[in-house]
Amino acid sequence: MKLFCQLIVLLALGCLLSACDSRKSAVNSSELPAFVAQKGNVYTITQGQTRLDINAGIGGRISSLKVDGVEMLLTADKAGNTIWGSTFWSSPQSEWSWPPIDVLDAAPYSLSVVDDRIVFTSKTDPGTGYQFIKSYGINAEKKCISIIYSIYNKSNVEKNVAGWEVTRFRPTGMTFFPQGNTESNSGIFYPLVVEHMGDITWANYRPEHILQNHHKLMTDGKEGWVAYANAGKILVKEFADVPVELIVAGEGEIELFANVEKTFWEVDQQGVMTKLAPGEHLDWEVRWHTRSLPASVPATLGSEELVNFVRGVLNGTH
């Protein structure tokens, strides 16, 4: 009888675990949009020459971005390290300090399919009351990948919050963006070396410029884009431009970060500071445009051809 009871308990536990597993994988391959392929927890979006991987098991974050077969992002290197790929945080950082909130940044997200988009949903963080949703799709007209980030306020207090996309590259390459209307600052870190040419701010990653501290730039942009170029490839992140008065205090619309260990290069942008009453949420779309650069477009500091190419990508002529 004792053995029989133990078997019943084990069977019940097995059924419960199976039910949990079925909930995690409630979307099967046949339900996925045609541009999405699945392998385990990784969902791959293919758009033209671009392959973008999203890992549902690790925060629904972007784990790989390949353009014509060339990897652009810093990818995972060892177990336990979560500083890689492209993730999403809430701003201001002062609300949660460091490290990032695991349930939002690195814990598994559930998956669903809504209106030809794959949607990844976090659990609710009990500390901040935030729940994140990341929705990925294709914008065929713009020839880009559309990402819609949502922050839900599940707390019982009003929140002032903005979305914050955090994209990490290997310690190489160059980033640039149209400079906005505020001075740059570095917060508690060393200033990042940049150059201003015309209306564009340029930052070339140079390890010899990284001293005995992390380096950071926080500033206002304009036109609603920031670009990263390396190895003949370019990623342009497009988003709604943020008025200066709606940038989160102590933060920047554009943020660049280089760590003192010289292991990664971070290119971020933040959205509009939004007041969320309990139960309300914000949506923020970011579009990722990728290209292989033509031989006629030099990827060099101050290149007018490169800036014109980016603007052409955004207005649909490239």
Greater confidence, 30 or 276? Answer: 276
Q: What pTM does this model have? A: 0.91
DSSP 58: T
- Per-residue pLDDT tens digits for 229-276: 999 999 999 999 999 999 999 999 999 999 999 999 999 999 999 999
Q: What residues does each domain of the chain span?
A: 35-315
Q: How confident is the model at residue 77 (pLDDT cuts 50, 70, 90)?
A: confident
pLDDT over 90, % of the chain? 88
pLDDT over 90 (residue 9): no
* CATH tag, 35-315: 2.70.98.10
pLDDT over 70 (residue 10): no
Contact call for residues 208 and 305 (beta carbons, < 8 A): no
Residues belonging to the chain? 318
Q: How confident is the model at residue 28 (pLDDT cuts 50, 70, 90)?
A: confident
Output b/e per residue, 48-78; b: 16+ Cβ within 10 A: eebbbbbbbebbbbbbbbbbeeeebbbebee
Q: How confident is the model at residue 88 (pLDDT cuts 50, 70, 90)?
A: very high
